[in-house]
A and B are shown apart, each in its own frame.
Chain A
């Protein structure tokens, strides 16, 4: 269990325990300060319940105007630091105003919470879920304690999952046809495919398949787009000739991918692309980018990232 000291003056210790904390899966979460902590994992529609215990520092009493716990879903834009957009906010009152002399435990429960978005840590944006415990005090300032948790939502395999097949080229120079077996991949999926060389007039040195993540935040003129290359996977070494076909088999599991997020709360989107790059002997790059949809497959034995 994590005891996180969040208060400025630790007049008391607040700890949050989840009711199925021992059996619930824990995943790593990167904090703002760079530390990685293990936090429980939830999905939408789950009931989040547990106990919150407040233990005054020995011998002192804690006077308060009431204790509450909030479940917050927040989106934080880094260029707009400090501003949180709460897309979800649920409150449970735990105690009426009074004094606490000794350790006191309050049960809480948020039943079947709607958590449509997944926890996400991007370049310019962060989406987090947190339990916020507040001990309100008049003059001394409130004591606030946060407990992060992670939300991941699973999708069933898509009913339609067409392959991506395309012929591209530069006239009289290079014509290729490539095929990826699907357009939608789950996070542990394998991309199978092939590249077929129809015409090769340039001296190709090698060919890579890149996985790129495009994160766009904001809207309108304030849109920020950040593209990261998460994987660079060499497919071919050397110059092929006409008629050659090169196999693709790329396991996605080694890479830190998330599902595709489309227009999350009108704040941001995260999209994935496969970028096929051919490099010739003069280091000129020829590429073709194709979007793929990533999804999280409901799987009980999913390994930790």
Chain B
């Protein structure tokens, strides 16, 4: 049935076009032979095709455009006719003899255009007559198109300032009056369209109406183009009249479109100066009108205007733009009770953008906006509306982007209160935005107070807000988030150690709430941050200790200990162990032997009690050895205890090669170049020999289990250790022992059941090359190498 309707419409349209063309043909013939009477007759017949009620606006437009083209020719003819001596006044009367009103009025407008051009009568009088006469068409569609035609033919003939049609004083007023009247009438027709026809086609009609809106809006555009419409006139006449029409038409579609039109076509400074009038209209619109978008557009325009240059800002202050907008938004929200929360937030977000642009220095304004937002949100559940949430994120992000400084946001008391209303996911998202912002702008947060506020803001990341949520959380995302937090912790810094210590306390307080999943991410940066402080204090330790400073390395180590202990519940022993070792090293640098010893003890306990995985053990033992090797704070006794333990652990590793490697690594614990106290050649040799024994055992085991000799890599590694210590001048490492070892390696490699291992070959070759290199280099070391015969 609908398809039929469309088909029928096509048919009617083509019939209309055919009729139009036929009459246009006769009209042309009459024009060519200068036959005015026939020209009028056929043009009227041609225009009669526009009397149809059967076409949709779209199709009607097509017909109209064809008629329009023909009317241009007719207008030209009328012009020639008057230059041939035909009185334009008579012509103006003559066309009014047509019996049908629609053709009559089209012809009248066409002649009217020539009439104005002839200047035989003031433009204003002709225009006034035309716009009055057009009242005869009350059919919305036909009326709209007729008046649109009138607007089209008259727009270059308005008695505007500077126009050739400008008459005596005040003719701009006439031009404005004319356009306003045409606008008003068109809008009335347009609004009325919705009541035409059956109710069930309302939706379709509204769509068609929407297609016609530009016909109405064009009038506003024409108004904005009139030179003579200055601010004064806009304020006193144009805007009040347009708004009156907009408000009175009580139509949702029209009100929304026209408000938007007003905002878009008139200059920014006009809006600014008439802000009150414009805003006062908003609460008067129909409740269903999307006022928030209208206001948002307005504020967007004004924001852009404000951004166009600092010189326009005084205008904004002068008219108290903020107060007015804020007030208006309040009223609109109050008036439209059913406005979805998303709308409310959108409005506030726009206002915020505006304020940031115009009053970047007025934090109180911004806080006020956020406060209003909180007020509106209060008493509601957490937001789950996607749209609203998105808008809140925009709202909260705006100040960050503007100030590029979280400091400012932290000063806004209502900022965290707005965040309260976000659901956990969004809260997190927002927290991420905040962190990203800090990272991007490299903002340094330097007081404990701010840190506290900041962590309060991003608590979505710091702890679980919603118990049910973390299950569905993507592991990757979680890591990403927590890494962000970790990076953030690194950004917290104060040059004042006291403050820094407070910051650390604060952060600790917050991250400890994070639970087992987060701590592994958040603890390390805090520890390192603390250790950084320790190292800073190290230099000034002496001077500060005098005046009862609360911040001493010792105290910090106490906190640090506690923090690391918090990891024990998770458990992540490897991490904790690493951190203890880091701390120990820092304590070493501060010459705090007991502290350092304590840390090592903790690390050892972890190793013994928690770390059971053999791989982890290998890694940890190497860490321990490495750290311990660098420690110089320990007295002999302590050191012995620790090294003894370390070598003990090494020898107890599960896999022989691991044992071997750990043991030879332990050799370094007994020989430190930079420390005279730690030079125990005996024990170095002991370690290496023990390593050799283990390597031997590995070899035998390989032969026993697989029938072929294992890799000789371990031997070569041990050889390298021999060479190292030999080079350092450890007397217990003899030339013979090195030569024996090389011999051993060679025989193993060439033995019956040796398996070829290119890596081992290369390793040995390069080791031998090193020996040769050192020989060639000469000097004291070279001389020692000279003794090794390969």
By the criterion CB–CB under 8 Å, are B136 and A236 in contact? yes
Query: CB within 8 Å of A: which of B181-237?
Result: 188, 192
Chain A interface, DSSP helix/strand/loop, else mixed: strand
| CB of B96 closer than 8 Å to a CB of A | yes
By the criterion CB–CB under 8 Å, are B99 and A237 in contact? no
Q: Out of B97, B100, B143, name the residue touching A234 (CB < 8 Å).
A: B100
Across the interface, name the chain B residue whose C-beta is closest to A239: B138
Q: Out of B97, B133, B139, name the residue touching A237 (CB < 8 Å).
A: B139
Contact string against B for A residues 247-260, beta-carbon threshold 8 Å, 1 for contact and 0 otherwise: 10101011000000
By the criterion CB–CB under 8 Å, are A244 and B138 in contact? yes
By the criterion CB–CB under 8 Å, are A233 and B99 in contact? yes
| CB of A21 closer than 8 Å to a CB of B | no
| CB of A38 closer than 8 Å to a CB of B | no
| CB of B132 closer than 8 Å to a CB of A | yes
By the criterion CB–CB under 8 Å, are A234 and B99 in contact? yes
| CB of B313 closer than 8 Å to a CB of A | no
Task: Please give, as numbers and ranges, the residues of chain A lying within 8 Å of B132 by CB-CB distance.
Answer: 247
Across the interface, name the chain A residue whose C-beta is closest to B101: A234
* A93–chain B nearest beta-carbon distance, Å: 50
Task: Please give, as numbers and ranges, the residues of chain A lying within 8 Å of B143 by CB-CB distance.
Answer: 237-238
Q: Out of A206, A231, A240, A251, name the residue touching B93 (CB < 8 Å).
A: A251
By the criterion CB–CB under 8 Å, are B135 and A245 in contact? yes
| CB of A232 closer than 8 Å to a CB of B | yes
By the criterion CB–CB under 8 Å, are A237 and B135 in contact? no
By the criterion CB–CB under 8 Å, are B139 and A251 in contact? no
* A207–chain B nearest beta-carbon distance, Å: 9
Across the interface, name the chain B residue whose C-beta is closest to A235: B136
By the criterion CB–CB under 8 Å, are A237 and B136 in contact? yes
By the criterion CB–CB under 8 Å, are A238 and B140 in contact? yes
By the criterion CB–CB under 8 Å, are A247 and B139 in contact? no
How far apart sit A107 and B70, CA to CA, in the bound complex (Å)?
61
By the criterion CB–CB under 8 Å, are A237 and B51 in contact? yes
By the criterion CB–CB under 8 Å, are B101 and A236 in contact? yes
Across the interface, name the chain A residue whose C-beta is closest to B133: A247
Task: Please give, as numbers and ranges, the residues of chain B lying within 8 Å of A233 by CB-CB distance.
Answer: 99
Contact string against A for B residues 74-109, beta-carbon threshold 8 Å, 1 for contact and 0 otherwise: 000000000000000000010011011110100000
How far apart sit A182 and B133, CA to CA, in the bound complex (Å)?
19
Contact string against A for B residues 125-139, beta-carbon threshold 8 Å, 1 for contact and 0 otherwise: 000000011011111
| CB of B142 closer than 8 Å to a CB of A | yes
By the criterion CB–CB under 8 Å, are B99 and A232 in contact? yes
Chain B CB count within 10 A is highest, among A234, A236, A238, A239, for A238
Q: How large is the interface on A (under 10, 10 to 19, 20 to 34, 35 or more residues)?
A: 20 to 34
How far apart sit A220 and B143, CA to CA, in the bound complex (Å)?
51
Chain B interface, DSSP helix/strand/loop, else mixed: helix
Task: Please give, as numbers and ranges, the residues of chain B lying within 8 Å of A236 by CB-CB distance.
Answer: 101, 136-138
| CB of A241 closer than 8 Å to a CB of B | yes
* B453–chain A nearest beta-carbon distance, Å: 61
- Asked, given contacts A247-B132, A251-B93, whether A238 binds B139 with beta carbons under 8 Å apart, the answer is yes
How far apart sit A247 and B104, CA to CA, in the bound complex (Å)?
13
Q: Out of A237, A241, A246, name the residue touching B102 (CB < 8 Å).
A: A237
* B327–chain A nearest beta-carbon distance, Å: 34
Across the interface, name the chain A residue whose C-beta is closest to B105: A237
Task: Please give, as numbers and ranges, the residues of chain B lying within 8 Å of A235 by CB-CB distance.
Answer: 101, 136
How far apart sit A237 and B138, CA to CA, in the bound complex (Å)?
6
Query: CB within 8 Å of B: which of A229-288?
Result: 231-241, 244-247, 249, 251, 253-254
* B236–chain A nearest beta-carbon distance, Å: 26
Task: Please give, as numbers and ranges, the residues of chain A lying within 8 Å of B140 by CB-CB distance.
Answer: 238
* A142–chain B nearest beta-carbon distance, Å: 47
Chain B contact residue count (CB 8 A cutoff): 21
By the criterion CB–CB under 8 Å, are B99 and A239 in contact? no
- Asked, given contacts A233-B99, A238-B143, whether A247 binds B138 with beta carbons under 8 Å apart, the answer is no
By the criterion CB–CB under 8 Å, are A238 and B133 in contact? no
Query: CB within 8 Å of A: which of B131-177?
Result: 132-133, 135-140, 142-143
Task: Please give, as numbers and ranges, the residues of chain A lying within 8 Å of B139 by CB-CB distance.
Answer: 237-239
Task: Please give, as numbers and ranges, the residues of chain B lying within 8 Å of A232 by CB-CB distance.
Answer: 99
How far apart sit A65 and B99, CA to CA, in the bound complex (Å)?
59
* B87–chain A nearest beta-carbon distance, Å: 14
* A122–chain B nearest beta-carbon distance, Å: 24
By the criterion CB–CB under 8 Å, are B138 and A240 in contact? yes
How far apart sit A118 and B135, CA to CA, in the bound complex (Å)?
40
Task: Please give, as numbers and ranges, the residues of chain A lying within 8 Å of B133 by CB-CB distance.
Answer: 247, 249
* A239–chain B nearest beta-carbon distance, Å: 6
How far apart sit A253 and B101, CA to CA, in the bound complex (Å)?
18
By the criterion CB–CB under 8 Å, are A241 and B135 in contact? no
* B742–chain A nearest beta-carbon distance, Å: 114
Task: Please give, as numbers and ranges, the residues of chain B lying within 8 Å of A239 by CB-CB distance.
Answer: 138-139
Chain A CB count within 10 A is highest, among B96, B102, B188, for B96
Across the interface, name the chain B residue whose C-beta is closest to A241: B192
Task: Please give, as numbers and ranges, the residues of chain B lying within 8 Å of A237 by CB-CB distance.
Answer: 51, 101-102, 136-139, 142-143
Across the interface, name the chain A residue whose C-beta is closest to B189: A238
By the criterion CB–CB under 8 Å, are B102 and A249 in contact? no
Task: Please give, as numbers and ranges, the residues of chain B lying within 8 Å of A254 by CB-CB distance.
Answer: 97
How far apart sit A101 and B239, CA to CA, in the bound complex (Å)?
94
Task: Please give, as numbers and ranges, the residues of chain B lying within 8 Å of A253 by CB-CB distance.
Answer: 97
* A199–chain B nearest beta-carbon distance, Å: 15
How far apart sit A238 and B99, CA to CA, in the bound complex (Å)?
16
By the criterion CB–CB under 8 Å, are A238 and B96 in contact? no
Task: Please give, as numbers and ranges, the residues of chain B lying within 8 Å of A238 by CB-CB distance.
Answer: 137-140, 142-143
* B60–chain A nearest beta-carbon distance, Å: 14
Chain A CB count within 10 A is highest, among B93, B104, B136, for B136
Task: Please give, as numbers and ranges, the residues of chain A lying within 8 Å of B100 by CB-CB distance.
Answer: 234
Task: Please give, as numbers and ranges, the residues of chain A lying within 8 Å of B104 by CB-CB distance.
Answer: 234
How far apart sit A247 and B143, CA to CA, in the bound complex (Å)?
15
Task: Please give, as numbers and ranges, the residues of chain A lying within 8 Å of B101 by CB-CB distance.
Answer: 206, 234-237
Query: CB within 8 Å of B: which of A210-238?
Result: 231-238
How far apart sit A247 and B93, CA to CA, in the bound complex (Å)?
15
* A188–chain B nearest beta-carbon distance, Å: 11
* A201–chain B nearest beta-carbon distance, Å: 13
Chain A CB count within 10 A is highest, among B100, B138, B142, for B138
How far apart sit A164 and B127, CA to CA, in the bound complex (Å)?
28
Task: Please give, as numbers and ranges, the residues of chain B lying within 8 Å of A244 by CB-CB distance.
Answer: 135, 138
By the criterion CB–CB under 8 Å, are A251 and B96 in contact? yes
* A209–chain B nearest beta-carbon distance, Å: 10
By the criterion CB–CB under 8 Å, are A247 and B97 in contact? no
Residues of B with Cβ closer than 8 Å to A? 51, 93, 96-97, 99-102, 104, 132-133, 135-140, 142-143, 188, 192
- Extra contacts, 4 of them, besides A247-B132, A249-B133 (Cβ < 8 A), are A236-B137, A240-B138, A246-B135, A246-B138
The 6 closest A-B CB pairs, nearest first, are A238-B139, A238-B138, A234-B101, A240-B138, A254-B97, A237-B137
A-B contacts, 23 of them at CB < 8 A, read A204-B138, A206-B101, A232-B99, A234-B99, A234-B100, A234-B104, A235-B136, A236-B101, A236-B138, A237-B51, A237-B136, A237-B143, A238-B137, A238-B138, A238-B139, A238-B143, A239-B139, A241-B188, A241-B192, A246-B136, A247-B133, A249-B96, A254-B97
